């Protein structure tokens, strides 16, 4: 992202979530606030999606990763999770539409400029900020997550669920594994969901590889370059070495089987994966 500006990729992801509500009627991921939080830009996002059907694969991937994360969160709450940390929250709307009551405290972590933009969007849309939500402004590359969360009142002794969607590809490996090590070391136990992509040269399917390369060029043009890719087996080994015990990883085939059992060819998203790991 550009210094002092909100993330363009956060806006793009929000646009895809909004377009999914209209073009696919939210059949993978239903978000009743996706259009409202975008305001006037929602109509533009939907119109652009209609005019560019080649972006459907990315839109569906973004819907699938959000569904995967919220399904995993629901399961973690049943297992005793009492805190949710949304890393790189962007225009995520979970805290504003979920019945949080006293079961879950939410911390939204993002770059200060993006967080200020989100507050403006919420105010313009008339979306109330729930009492269970705390904003924690942190620059992942320059500030410590532990310090930012501690300042917001986070309690590491409580079981916590972390979502980290649409962020890892833009970070350096030291920043990624430093954050994952912090999560794995929490005394109360933790779960994390994130998405990542395999190295482009390892993507066997030509169409998926081309989709990945096109997306990489597009985000680079917006000033947000892909910096990290991972071999799946090596990533799992690293996660286990950090202390994660339970790992679930869906690549393109796994996503197709779960979300498009009758139409597997409909689920395409380059070489993207969605992953859940737990220390419990």
When mean pLDDT is compared across 16-20, 26-30, 34-38, 142-146, the lowest value belongs to 142-146
Pairing of strands 133-137, 190-197: unpaired
What topology does CATH give the domain 70-278? Rossmann fold (3.40.50)
Q: What is the model's pLDDT at position 142?
A: 73
What would the pLDDT profile of 240-250 be if each residue is shown by its tens digit?
999 999 999 99
Compute how many other C-beta atoms are within 10 angstroms of the C-beta atom of residue 199. Answer: 12
Question: Which of 20, 40, 138, 6 has its CA nearest to residue 85?
Answer: 138
Share the mean pLDDT of the chain: 89
- With vertex at residue 174, the alpha carbon angle to CA 8 and CA 153, rounded to the nearest 5 degrees, is 70
Question: Which of 63, 104, 105, 109 has its CA nearest to residue 86?
Answer: 109
Compute how many other C-beta atoms are within 10 angstroms of the C-beta atom of residue 231. Answer: 12
Full-model pTM:
0.91
Residue 30 main-chain phi, psi, to 5 deg: -95, 125
Confidence of residue 1 (pLDDT cuts 50, 70, 90): very low
Domain definitions of the chain by residue range:
70-278
Beta partners for residue 56, in sequence order: none
What would the pLDDT profile of 137-187 be if each residue is shown by its tens digit?
987 667 789 999 999 999 999 999 999 999 999 889 998 999 999 999 999
Q: What is the model's pLDDT at position 263?
A: 73
Q: Which of 31-45, 90-104, 127-141 is the most confident on average?
A: 31-45
Q: How far apart are CA 179 and CA 194, in angstroms?
A: 12
Confidence of residue 221 (pLDDT cuts 50, 70, 90): low
- Whether the Cβ atoms of residue 258 and residue 250 lie closer than 8 Å to each other: yes
Q: What is the model's pLDDT at position 128?
A: 96
Q: Over 60: is that where the pLDDT of 124 sits?
A: yes
């Amino acid at each position: 992202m550009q210094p002092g500006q909100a993330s363009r990729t956060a806006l793009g992801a929000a646009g895809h979530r909004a377009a999914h509500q209209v073009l696919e009627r939210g059949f993978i991921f239903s978000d009743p606030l996706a259009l409202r939080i975008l305001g006037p830009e929602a109509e533009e996002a939907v119109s652009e999606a209609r005019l560019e059907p080649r972006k459907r694969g990315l839109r569906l991937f973004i819907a699938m990763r959000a569904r995967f994360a919220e399904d995993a969160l629901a399961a973690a709450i049943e297992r005793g999770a009492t805190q949710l940390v949304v890393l790189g929250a962007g225009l995520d709307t979970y805290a504003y539409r979920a019945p949080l009551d006293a079961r879950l405290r939410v911390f939204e972590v993002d770059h200060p400029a993006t967080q200020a933009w989100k507050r403006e969007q919420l105010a313009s849309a008339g979306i109330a900020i729930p009492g269970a939500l705390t904003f924690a402004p942190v620059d992942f590359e320059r500030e410590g997550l532990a310090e930012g969360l501690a300042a917001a009142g986070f309690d590491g002794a409580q079981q916590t669920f972390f979502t980290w969607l649409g962020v890892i590809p833009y970070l350096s490996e030291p920043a990624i594994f430093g954050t994952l090590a912090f999560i794995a070391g929490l005394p109360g136990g933790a779960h994390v969901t994130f998405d990542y992509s395999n190295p482009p040269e390892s993507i066997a399917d030509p169409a998926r590889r081309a989709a990945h390369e096109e997306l990489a060029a597009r985000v680079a043009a917006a000033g947000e370059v892909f910096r990290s890719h991972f071999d799946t087996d090596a990533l799992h080994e690293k996660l286990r070495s950090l202390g994660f015990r339970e790992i679930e990883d869906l690549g393109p085939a796994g996503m197709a089987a779960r979300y498009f059992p009758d139409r597997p060819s409909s689920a395409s998203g380059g070489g993207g994966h969605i992953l859940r790991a737990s220390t419990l």
